Amino acid sequence: MNTPDEIHNDVTARALTLHWAAGRTQRIAHSRLREACPCAFCKRIRLAGGVPTAAPGLTLTRIEPMGYGVQLAFSDGHERGIYPWSWLEALGQD
């Protein structure tokens, strides 16, 4: 399993920075993370043809390691999704 060596939450820039092996750095906006949430509730919205939206000014308030990924909590109260490392790595390459 590929896991980042370091994670930094830049609240001012509203971005999560992941430092991977070999010096590769990935930066993902908080709004992008929220809109791409992998939880069942957000998946249901997508299946119905909708898109989960991030409120203006949304920030990431908590990061909880979960072994194969992280659970992210947002300033809008949403904290349902667990973001696997492989999924985060792919998300930042879009």
Boundaries of domain holding 56: 6-91
**Averages of pLDDT over each 10 residues, the chain, 94 residues:** 91 95 92 95 96 94 94 96 92 69
* pTM of structure: 0.91
Provide the sign of the torsion angle of the four alpha carbons 31, 94, 28, 60, taken in this order.
Answer: positive
- Could you tell me if 23 and 52 are in contact, meaning their C-beta atoms sit under 8 angstroms apart? no
Q: Looking at residue 58, what is its pLDDT?
A: 97
Residue 48 lies in a domain: yes
CATH code of the domain in which 64 resides: 3.30.2020.30
Residue 1 lies in a domain: no
Q: How many domains does the chain have?
A: 1
Residue 16 lies in a domain: yes
